[in-house]
Structure 1
Amino acid sequence: MKTFFTALLLLTVQFLFAQEEVYADGIFNFEENKPQKIFTAGARIRQSPEVNAQVLDSLPANQEVFILKKEERVLKLGERTANWYRVSYQKGDRASEGYVWGGNLCTGYRNKNGYDFLLGLAKTITKKDPQFPTETIQQNMAAVKMMEGPAVIDEVSFETGSGESLSYGTFTVESNHKLKNVEFTLKAAVSGEACGIPGYDQYILVTGKKLIALPQLMSVGDADVYYHHEEFIFPNDKGGVTNAFIYKMEEMEKDEKDREKRKKASKTYLWDGTAYRLKQTR
């Protein structure tokens, strides 16, 4: 009987530890033997893959590192969860190695017109739940930095939901969409892998040395029972308007009798070459 209770206790302990296991967000999954860039200014390089390990160095944003190995150890800070990585890098004439937390690395980066554009997760904030004002929720804040070497030329921040929305991410360069004085457009997107988890699209206009973040778009769906989709129609799209972009929303929900209820909405933002404003309707 004593042996039985001992075995039962061990199984219970193993179950509890299994319940507490933490998995890294998909956007922080970086390939080994590939270059990557530091997003967080002053990112610490440690002697071992632990948050309390000795600090060997700190690196500026836009510093290139080389991923040597993804460690199994995972660290969660706020709503950001990432593996530790063993990296090598060149700082001046000195080549060094150490460990960096994946949350301090870029989730995407691009080079255009002589500037580097870095996308990363900056922090987690606590805010009021819009559906339940007496409660709070945690939201990740992402940012795009326009860099010239180690110098930040401009930066914009935006929300990306909770950790559940960080399974996948993309960072792309698009055309200027025929908007006046816009050189090109950046698009950052994140999404989850389960039904009912929202995805977010963030468009950023690049005009000279300035970044202009447009209103954020959100889409979510639950099989064929419900969906909510938001998009922009730019001047170069079918139905587009010169020097304006149109926000469109479509929503569908099925009731208990499987009948579809649909909603649609739209509004127009005017663009004057330097800023946008909502077009007033009479």
Structure 2
Amino acid sequence: MKALFTVLFLFIIQIFSAQEEDYEYANGVFHFEENKTQKIFTDWTRIRQSPNTNAQILDSLQTNQPIVILKKEETILKLGERRANWYKISYQKGDKTSEGYVWGGNLCVGYRNKNGYDFLFGLTKTVNKKDKQSPEITIQQNIAAIKVLEGNALIDEVSFETGSGESLSFGTFNIESNHKLQNVELTLKATVSGEACGIPSYDQYVLFKDKKLIVLPQLMNVGDADVYYHSEEFVFPNDKGGIPNAFIFKMEEMEKDDRDREKKKRASKTYLWDGNSYKLK
């Protein structure tokens, strides 16, 4: 009888666990509007007959393939720290228009076009990493990438970290000027952030020069109401306080003590830019 109760108890736990998985929210960066154009990020993304990893594979699409979002399905698939809905899509190959289902994690978080180049931003995988402050603890870390293509040809690709799934509530991807850095054609800025206090946001600047992507040190910002904040930013040559052929990293922290008094800490360092690469001064 005791064994029977144990089996029933485990069965009930499994049912509730399954329900929690069914109702798990997708990351906000993978929310795409219906009847809007999107692009494939993961090369050779599989298109399936239904929203399931066991469904028949109908086709495979290459990076930068335009698609149209027809409908967001309720089914959510979690791979590592990435959680995304399945989407019913349509796409065109030659004169033929086809439909199928794609996992949202394989689509671009953002994409831009300039000077004949397509720039794509997306999430690629989740890796296990030792915590810097507590090496005995293993944490899951999302890895993102930016790709640059000319037509269908991949010109360059760079990868960088984007924190845990909690930091994937929002995502933006923009093209900025060259910030008056010598020989730089343009600057890309990819950002992911969370929606709750204490969840970090990450800013990744990438320079584009001579068909190459150059990743700058990553910036992290986090705060908890008016009790604590940590902010990081770059001051480029075209910014107020900027200097030629360099960019300045600035950090500021504030924390309130038990008497509600603010304690601030500031730090800065300068990176020199020689027209091809940067180094710490």
Q: One fold, TM greater than 0.5?
A: yes
Shift of 1:13: 8.1
TM-score (norm 2): 0.93
Q: 1:38 aligns with which of 37, 40, 49?
A: 40
Shift of 1:14: 7.3
RMSD of Structure 2 on Structure 1 (CA): 1.6
Q: 2: distance between equivalents of 1:126 and 1:93?
A: 44
TM-score (norm 1): 0.93
What 5-or-longer segments of structure 2 have no aligned partner?
A: 1-8
Residue in 2 that maps onto 1:4 = none
Give % identity: 73
Q: 1:185 aligns with which of 180, 187, 202?
A: 187
Residue in 2 that maps onto 1:123 = 125
- Write out aligned runs for 1:52-63 (5 A): 52-63=54-65
SS of 1:103's partner is helix
Residue in 1 that maps onto 2:234 = 232
Q: 1:208 aligns with which of 200, 207, 210?
A: 210
- Superposed CA offset, 1:259-278 (max 9, x none): 21111000000000110000
Q: 2: distance between equivalents of 1:73 and 1:33?
A: 19
1:262 partner amino acid: K
SS of 1:177's partner is coil
Q: 2: distance between equivalents of 1:18 and 1:83?
A: 16
Shift of 1:208: 2.1
Shift of 1:149: 2.0
Q: 1: distance between equivalents of 2:74 and 2:16?
A: 20
Q: 1:85 aligns with which of 78, 84, 87?
A: 87
Are residues 148 and 250 of structure 1, via their aligned partners in 2, closer, same or farther at CA, if it must alter by over 3 Å? same
Q: 1: distance between equivalents of 2:277 and 2:249?
A: 16
Residue in 2 that maps onto 1:251 = 253
Residue in 2 that maps onto 1:140 = 142
- Determine if the alignment matches structure 1 residue 159 to structure 2 residue 161: yes
Q: 2: distance between equivalents of 1:64 and 1:17?
A: 34
Q: 2: distance between equivalents of 1:92 and 1:126?
A: 41
Residue in 1 that maps onto 2:76 = 74
Q: 2: distance between equivalents of 1:172 and 1:13?
A: 44
Q: 1: distance between equivalents of 2:186 and 2:152?
A: 22
